[in-house]
Amino acid sequence: MSTILIWEGYRRRLPLYVRVCSVVVALTVVLSFVVPYTYTSTSSIMPPESKNQSGGLSSLLQGAPIAVGLGSAENKAALVFVEILKSRSCLLGIVDTLKLRENPLFAGLTNEDFEKQLRDAMVVEARKTGTVTIDVEVSTGWLPFWNKPALAAKTAADIGNAARIMLDKINREKSVSQARRSRLYIERVLGSNRKLIDSLQNLMQEFQSKTNVMAPDEQLSAIVQNAVMIGTELSKAEIELALVEQDFQPSSPQVMMLQKKVNTLREQYNRVQAGGMEAGDEFSIPLNQLPQLTRTYANLVRDIKIKEQINAYLESQRMQEAIQEAKDIPTVVELDAAVVPEKRTSPSRVLMVLIAWFVTTVLFAIYVPYADIHAEKQKHIPSA
């Protein structure tokens, strides 16, 4: 067929095209009032500002709940937020918080249906900046009443805000639970450490009672001073005795007196070496046993001080975890709250009309040449 004949066919059937387009557009407009309306509400959140903290015990006890890739701390927290928002506990928590089982838009749904429908309705995305956007789409049923669009729009906003509330609640419960577990563990370690300290202190008390070692350094200093003093006096007495023995007989009173003095000083010097000036001395230590006793004493003191330092550290950590368990700090920062949308997301009547007109035009453009070719063939068929 020539182009002129084709255009002639289009011109001849133009009234039919106008009537068909009018009917299709009218039906499309009617359909746009019948199909479900969809409303979208958008909100955005972000993790709280991270602060550098000293490595407490809880940081060693608690691991990352979800494995995430490399990136900043804020981005990792945002990815964790996305996973929590898609979790079953969060979705069903939204259902219970908003009492969606009583909502006409969700009537008759089971927990599995709620979980699937909410997961499909919520589009959660984590951005590189660390923020998380939550887009919630809620649709009315077919043949919506006048109150159904308003209810769907309000429900979309309510779900967005409830998702943020449930996320914060789950995070707080997780933080409190971790702090409680850490505190209980620290308290168990504290109890065991206190028993060890008591045991070491008992060993120290028993050791001091048996050996009279109270303060080795001070006691050693006093013993050395006594030994030096008595040793000096002994040396002087021995020299005097030697000089006197040159002038007097051994049985003379001068020699006997000095000999007695020398014997007394030597006895005192030996007693100092053996551990005391007097028989009842309770604070002297035998010099030949001093290295071993000092080492044992130093080991006991070292062990006690180590346990006491550990005990002080655990006490500070226990208090830190107790504060973490008791404090009530938001774990989610709200950037943009979900608001009730004023306009529906779909259907778009203008778009539906344009699509209907475009499809009708394409079908008409295909139909006209086909109809003319078929009519031309019918003319050349001889009649019976």
For residue 196, count CB atoms less than 10 angstroms from its CB and return exposed for 0-12, middle for 13-18, buried for 19 or more.
middle
Given phi > 0 = left and psi -120 to 50 = alpha, else beta, which region is 26? alpha
* 131 is a domain residue: yes
* C-alpha span between 176 and 237 (Å, rounded): 80
Range of the domain at 5: 1-35+347-377
Backbone angles phi, psi at 64, to 5 degrees: -65, 130
56 and 173 part of one domain: yes
Residues 276 and 142 in one domain: no
* pLDDT for residue 12 is more than 50: yes
Is 104 in the same domain as 248?
no
C-beta of residue 321 within 8 angstroms of C-beta of residue 182: yes
Alpha carbon of residue 122 to chain centroid? 25
| Residue 324 resides in a domain | no
Whether 290 and 240 share a structural domain: yes
* DSSP-assigned states of every residue in 298-338: HHHHHHHHHHHHHHHHHHHHHHHHHHHHH----S-EEEE--
Per-residue confidence (pLDDT) for residue 273, from 0 to 100: 64
- The domain that holds 179 is classified in CATH as 3.30.1890
Mean residue pLDDT of the chain comes to 82
Number of structural domains the chain divides into: 3
* Position 243 confidence tier, pLDDT thresholds 50, 70, 90: confident
Of 282, 279, 167, give the one whose Cα is nearest residue 219.
Answer: 282
pLDDT, tens digit (0-9, with 9 covering 90-100), for 175-196: 888 888 888 999 999 999 999 9
My answer on whether 110 and 143 are in the same domain is: yes
Q: Is residue 54 very low, low, confident or very high in pLDDT (cuts 50, 70, 90)?
A: very low
Q: Is 18 in the same domain as 97?
A: no
> Does residue 382 lie in a domain region?
no
Do residues 48 and 179 both lie within one domain? yes
Cβ atoms of residues 78 and 46 within 8 Å: yes
* Arithmetic mean of pLDDT, 8-21: 86
Is 216 in the same domain as 295? yes
Give residue 73's pLDDT band: very low, low, confident or very high (50, 70, 90). low
Looking at residue 284, its pLDDT comes to 58
Per-residue pLDDT averaged across 146-150, rounded? 76
* pLDDT tier for residue 70 given thresholds of 50, 70 and 90: very low
List pLDDT tens digits, range 252-263.
888 888 888 888
Is the same domain home to 98 and 153?
yes
Q: How many CB atoms lie within 10 A of CB 222?
A: 15
Per-residue pLDDT tens over the stretch 100-147: 999 988 888 899 999 999 999 999 999 888 899 999 999 988 877 665
CATH number, domain of 289, equals 1.10.287
Please give the backbone phi and psi of residue 52, each rounded to the nearest 5 degrees, phi first. -70, 125
Lowest mean pLDDT of 35-39, 228-232, 260-264, 373-377, name the range: 373-377
pLDDT the model gives residue 8: 80
